[in-house]
Structure 1
Amino acid sequence: MRRALLAALLIFPWADAGGAATLQPGVGQPALNAALGQAAERGDVAGVRNLLKRGASPRARRADGRTALTSAALGNHVAVARMLVAAGADPDPQDTARNNALLVTGETGNVGMLREVLRAGPDLTRTNRFGGTALIPAADRGHVEYVRELLKTGIDVNHVNNLGWTALLEAVLLGDGDPRHTEIVRLLLAADANPNLTDRDGVTPLAHAKRRGFASMVALLTSGRGR
């Protein structure tokens, strides 16, 4: 078992939050942390539980900065995330791709995972590689229930990413006027999204919706609110 854990460490080196290696009887802590990260990626609930009991750190980070919680979020392993959060996992550290547990959920749209990550008290202002909060990719991908849940947190609905787009602009520009994206436009407006914030060319969400022939979005944006 020891040999297998040490081999895993060579492939996916992990350290605890402070970079130290606290040794456990018989097995080095870094090896346990490596095994924990891999178990989280697989969604191995029993394995994660066992490794945490043996002293693996829920706050450990891989060499590229990825945490076990982010790995669980990427795989939609909700039960594993619940266990890691209960053990004290930090939701905020970002890996070299600027992913963390919350930002990943904005892409997957997994509401159950979002709720587990929110229990850990994440920093809602963290941004992904495009400079967007978790709300923006969720609006882009049409994750209606996710957007509804995330808006309850008070996240900045008017945040502008590196492309110069808000969540409202992305719902219009990257959707196809379908019911899911239209409902997201309504939710964002109801949460006080500013319909007058333009893209870098000075074009409003309403103007984009008109150009693309999205009648339902046009009606919402003309009124300026989704209530």
Structure 2
Amino acid sequence: MQLAHFKVLLAFLLTMMTSLTASAEGGVLESQLRDAAESGNAERIRSLLEQGATLEARDRLGRTALLLATHRNQVEAARVLIEAGTDVNAKDSIDDSPYLYAGARGFNQILRLTLSHGADLKSTNRYGGTALIPAAERGHVDNVRTLIDAGVDVNHLNRLHWTALMEAIVLSDGGPRHVQIVEMLVQAGADVNITDKDGVTPLAHARARGYSAMVKILEDASRGKPAPTGI
């Protein structure tokens, strides 16, 4: 009798746990929607949405179907979800959103889709940075250009007290992509006199690293000479 009672109780608890998980994650259709998004199956996404799958249901890490599609740079899957009205600014448990993640990772097609569907240019990641800052750090030239053109604040300071310009210098190898990004940022109005929290300027960091091309750009800017155009 005790064994039978235990089995019944165990079955009940398992049922309750499954029910709670399904509730938190949105159910079977929503789980399938996230799987389809992650694998890039745009037609399956359309079918699931027609069946009533909820766009904004999240997994245990707070990720929507769109964020999962963005993680894998699944452009067509992201397009279907975005055009269906999913929130491009919905953040997961670590403050990533489709817009922020696409910006940081160089996924320019998805980034452009998010920008044309309500991306919040003032949204910040877990480090307090806009999408422009990690794009500049990682050398994603096209994304930097896209974000500048969209109107992201080029002088925003993250929690390290670094701007996009500072990160393009301090966290780069000084190569051609980052030189181009420094040019772009300066041309867009980046303040070359904003220091880090220790009072060190971008120019001083560039000199210390021997980044001669960046040094010239920053020296010219500090003298008021316009940055090159046609970048």
The interval holding the TM-score normalised by the smaller chain is 0.7 to 0.9
Amino acid at match of 1:139: A
Mapped pair 1:71 → 2:68: yes
Aligned mates of 1:114, 1:164 — CA distance in 2: 25
Residue number in structure 1 paired with 2:83: 86
Q: What's the secondary structure of 2:150's corresponding residue?
A: coil
Pick the structure with greater CA Rg: 2
Amino acid at match of 2:121: L
Q: What is the Cα deviation at residue 12 of structure 1?
A: 9.6
Runs of 4+ in 1 over 6 A off after TM superposition: none
Q: 143, 146, 164: which is aligned to 1:146? A: 143
Mapped pair 1:14 → 2:15: no
Q: What is the Cα deviation at residue 14 of structure 1?
A: 2.2
After superposition, give the CA deviation of every residue in 1:68-89 in whole Å (9 maximum; x if it has no partner).
1111111100101110111001
- Contact 2:165 / 2:182 at 8 angstroms: preserved in 1? yes
Q: What CA RMSD, in Å, does the superposition of the two structures yield over aligned residues?
A: 1.9
Q: Give the unaligned 5+ runs of structure 2.
A: 1-17
Q: Give the unaligned 5+ runs of structure 1.
A: 1-6, 16-29
Residue number in structure 2 paired with 1:18: none
- Contact 1:106 / 1:136 at 8 angstroms: preserved in 2? no
Residue number in structure 2 paired with 1:219: 216
Aligned mates of 1:188, 1:11 — CA distance in 2: 46
Q: What is the Cα deviation at residue 115 of structure 1?
A: 1.0
Aligned mates of 1:12, 1:179 — CA distance in 2: 50
TM-score when normalising by structure 1? 0.86
Q: What's the secondary structure of 1:107's corresponding residue?
A: helix
User: After the TM superposition, which of the residue ranges 51-60 and 141-150 deviates more from structure 2?
Assistant: 51-60
Give me the identity figure in percent.
48
Matches within 5 A, 1:186-201: 186-201=183-198
- Contact 1:59 / 1:89 at 8 angstroms: preserved in 2? yes
Aligned mates of 2:177, 2:81 — CA distance in 1: 32
Q: What is the Cα deviation at residue 10 of structure 1?
A: 4.5
Matches within 5 A, 1:1-227: 10=21, 13-15=24-26, 30-224=27-221, 225-227=226-228
- Contact 2:100 / 2:125 at 8 angstroms: preserved in 1? yes
Q: What is the Cα deviation at residue 164 of structure 1?
A: 1.2
Amino acid at match of 1:147: V
Aligned mates of 1:94, 1:43 — CA distance in 2: 20
Aligned mates of 1:77, 1:122 — CA distance in 2: 18
After superposition, give the CA deviation of every residue in 1:88-137 in whole Å (9 maximum; x if it has no partner).
01111111111100110122101111111112111111111111111111
Aligned mates of 1:11, 1:163 — CA distance in 2: 39
Amino acid at match of 1:151: I
Aligned mates of 1:196, 1:137 — CA distance in 2: 20
Q: What is the Cα deviation at residue 154 of structure 1?
A: 0.5
- Contact 2:104 / 2:132 at 8 angstroms: preserved in 1? no
Aligned mates of 1:84, 1:185 — CA distance in 2: 34
